[in-house]
Amino acid sequence: MSKSEYVIVGSNVAAVGAIDGIRKHDKKSSILTISFESLGSYSKAMLAEYIEGANAQWLEFRGKDYFKKMGVDCLFGRKVTGLDSDKSILTTDNGEEISYKKLLLGVGGVPFKPVIKGAEGKELVFTFTDLLDAEKIREALPRFNSAVVIGAGFTGTEIAYTLNKLNKKVTVVELGDRVLVKALDPRSSEIAQSLMHGEGIEFYLNDTVEEISGNKEITGVSLKSGKVIPCQAVITAIGVIPNGELIKNTPVKFDRGLDVDDYMCTNVPNVYGAGDVVKALDITDGLKRSLPLWPLAFQQGLVAGKNMAGGRYPYAGGLPINSLKFLKVPILSAGITTPPDASYEVIYVSDPKGTFYRSLVLKEGRLKGFVTIGEIDGAGVLTGLIRNKIDISGIKTKLLNKKKVGLMQMPREWRNRIFTRRDETDYHD
């Protein structure tokens, strides 16, 4: 049996954060990462570019040289299949046993796969969550001219846009009544949908795919509404859920996400979690939930790593920020964009040409979230106002009407607070 002081399952961004965190306190002890993928840490935000033809190595944000430089041993292409948290032992898919003193689960999320009649046995049914999925889609490109994407969230709209750009006929089917429901408010959803429709993408909202027809090759899909859409490929992009596979049959608590405390530790003292697999603190409402975003996974990993190595750093919480970079008009949102109840105030401005839109969501005078379309330069100031819980009652309309929100327009006292506040994670998104 091999041994390592620290074992990290996963080698993506949560793992990198943890390695940075561990090495801040412990320069020498052994660290081992295990990942079933072939790359070091890579950007999933760039998977679309990979499908368009980019080199896989180009996606790496921390390549294998980083792991070497940090004195980390790596097992790539290896899956962890068992965890005995009482004995602190992991088992891999080739039967190897590895013991650890501290374990980080940075195993990310898995795609939610709906059960659809006829999906079984069809070759061109895909998910879009990792490089392996992107490789399959890229390889299959010459085999289809039309595709149905199920789900109009971030990954669904991104893959739809990419395939459309590659001259495929794309139809998006969404169960909800609008696109990008988690990130945008109803008005900005409409703008985003109309921008995508303008590029040639068709949408069916309030509907769902009930059946995929054809034999081995897909001929089309049937929707709940009765509509039949001819197509040759189907991509399900309904969302990513925390990956609880490894902790099944262990005492590690998991309820729609790994339960971690403020120090990113699970209920089992030497087992930590970070990234898409955990439920983490959302600073906009103080609740813990799955926040599957790259910078937050890094921050959580960093905090977990420092604590694994003997530090005592609480996770300050994260602000969910979403940026739709593939559209011709930039769209960025943060925090709460659609208020859950009437205690919030929403103000917005929309220029008649549809090239600029901004909405602000406030509670008791403080900014809780925003959407900005067409002009995203001031977004850093807006996120600073959210993080610092600054009362914006006196300047809220200024924040709306100025296309460029500059720090210099803020009162000096606020500027100082935004500039001087630092949290314990050494990282700012």
Ligand X SMILES: Cc1cc2nc3c(=O)[nH]c(=O)nc-3n(C[C@H](O)[C@H](O)[C@H](O)COP(=O)(O)OP(=O)(O)OC[C@H]3O[C@@H](n4cnc5c(N)ncnc54)[C@H](O)[C@@H]3O)c2cc1C
CB of 296 to ligand X, least distance (A): 7
Which residue lies nearer to ligand X by CB, 47 or 271?
47
Q: Which of 3, 25, 64, 79 binds ligand X (CB under 6 A)?
A: 79
Spatial contact of 296 and 12, defined as CB atoms under 8 Å apart: no
Q: Which is nearer to ligand X, 155 or 266 (CB)?
A: 155
Per CB under 6 A, the list member of 4, 6, 13, 152 interacting with ligand X is 13
Provide, rounded to whole angstroms, the least separation between the CB of residue 128 and ligand X. 6
Mask for 273-312, x = binds ligand X (CB under 6 A): --xx---------------xxxx-x---------------
- Find the binding residues for ligand X in span 158-177 (CB under 6 A): 158
Residue closer to ligand X (CB basis): 12 or 189: 12
Among 32, 246, 264, 304, binds ligand X (CB under 6 A): 246
Q: Give 155 or 193: the residue with its C-beta nearer to ligand X.
A: 155
Burial of 211 (0-12, 13-18, 19+ CB in 10 A): middle
Rg (CA), the chain: 23
Tokens, residue 129: 């969550």
What beta strand segments (E) does 351-401 contain? 357-363, 366-373
CB of 108 to ligand X, least distance (A): 2
Q: What crossing angle do the helices spanning 186-198 and 154-165 adopt, rounded to 10°? A: 20
Residue 106 binds ligand X, judged by CB under 6 A: yes
371 binding ligand X? (CB under 6 A):
no
User: Among residues 83 and 390, whose Cβ is nearest to ligand X?
Assistant: 83
Note the residue count of the chain.
429
Q: How far apart are CA 296 and CA 332, in angstroms?
A: 16
- Least Å distance between CB 130 and ligand X? 7
Torsion of CA 379, 385, 388, 390, to 10 degrees: 180
Q: Rule CB under 6 A: is residue 247 a binding residue for ligand X?
A: no
Site for ligand X in 15-74 (CB under 6 A): 15, 34-37, 44-45, 47
Record the tokens describing residue 112, joined without a space: 């939610």
Beta bridge partners of 291: none
By CB neighbour count within 10 A (0-12 exposed, 13-18 middle, 19+ buried), where does 27 fall?
Answer: exposed
End-to-end CA distance of the chain: 40
Task: Kindly give the pairing relationship between strand 287-289 and strand 202-204.
Answer: unpaired
Binding site for ligand X (CB under 6 A): 9-15, 34-37, 44-45, 47, 79-80, 106-109, 128-129, 155, 158, 243, 246, 275-276, 292-295, 297
